[in-house]
Amino acid sequence: MNPIPAQPYDYPLPEHPKLALVIIDMQRDFLEPGGFGDALGNDVKRLQAIVPALKQLLDAFRALNLPIIHTLEGHQSDLSDCPVAKQQRGTGNLKIGDAGPMGRILVLGEPGNQIIPELAPQLDELVIPKPGKGAFYKTPLEEHLRDRGITHLLITGVTTEVCVQTTLREANDRGYECLLVEDATESYFPHFKQATLEMVRSQGGIIGWTASTNAILSALESFPSANSSSQLSSV
C-alpha cells in the first residue's frame, strides 16, 4: 500500500480496516444562518467550502467499506450536560438552549443540530453526539475505536481550531495516528486554520500529519476493499 504524501513526512497507511474517517460537527448549527456559529457573530458561509472535499472522502471510504464516524456537538434538552460556564459564554443575543430560527441552539434533535443533507450519515456509520469540544469527552468514541482495532484517524470537519483541533489532540494523547485533512477542515478565521495546520505538523509532526484530499484519494487507490463488517453502527 502506498503511504499518503503528507507533511511533515509520508503518512503510512495501516492494514484494512484500521483507518477511519472522522467528520467533526458538520451540522447546520455551524454552517447555516440562524445557528450557533451565526449567533456568535461568524460568517457561516465560509465553512461551506469544504463540503465537496468531504463528499469525495465519504464516497471513497464508503466504496472501500472503511469506518466512518460523524460527530455532533449538542446538549440534552434540559442542558444537564452543559456546564453553566459554556452556556453563559459569549456576547450574542442567543445562547445555548435558546430558541432560534432552526430550533433551540445546540440542542440534540433540533433542526439546527442535524448534519447537513449533503453529508448525511448512512445507517451503518457511527454518529457520536458530544457535549464538549473534543469527541472523546463524555462519549463512547474511544471504546468503539478500541473494539474495532482502529489505529489511524483522518480528521476533518469544523471548526479547525476548536472541535477539530481538540479532538485531534485528545486522539493523539490516546495513541492514535492522526492526519488532519487540509482542505476538508475549515474555520471562521483563515489565520486560525493556517496556524492549526502548522501547529499539528510542526516539530516533526508533534501531534500529527496534514495532507490534501487529492493526496489521500490517490493513496487510497492502492487500498484493498474489505467486506462491510468494518462499518460501525449508530449510537
List residues binding ligand C5J (CB under 6 A). Answer: 25, 30, 73, 133, 158-159, 162-163
- Mark whether 193 is an active-site residue: no
- Mark whether 178 is an active-site residue: no
- 145-172: b or e for each residue (b if 16 or more CB lie within 10 Å)? beebebebbbbbbbbbbbbbbbbbbbbb
Q: Measuring CA to CA, which residue among 178, 140, 172 is closest to residue 156?
A: 178
Tell me how far the alpha carbon of residue 36 is from its chain's centroid: 17
* Between 29 and 220, CB nearer to ligand C5J: 29
Q: Measuring CA to CA, which residue among 120, 124, 148 is closest to residue 235?
A: 124
* Between 154 and 158, CB nearer to ligand C5J: 158
Nearest distance from residue 183's CB to ligand C5J, in Å? 17
Catalytic entry in 29, 163, 183, 193: 163
Nearest distance from residue 90's CB to ligand C5J, in Å? 10
* Between 26 and 219, CB nearer to ligand C5J: 26
- State the maximum Cα–Cα separation within the chain, in Å, rounded to a whole number: 52
Nearest distance from residue 73's CB to ligand C5J, in Å? 5
C-alpha cell at 161: 481550531
- Mark whether 25 is an active-site residue: yes
Residue type, 70: H
CA distance 15 to 35: 40
* Between 158 and 199, CB nearer to ligand C5J: 158
* Between 151 and 166, CB nearer to ligand C5J: 166
Nearest distance from residue 3's CB to ligand C5J, in Å? 29
Catalytic entry in 25, 29, 38, 183: 25
Catalytic entry in 29, 82, 95, 130: 130
Nearest distance from residue 223's CB to ligand C5J, in Å? 29
CA distance 226 to 220: 13
Catalytic residue numbers read 25, 130, 163
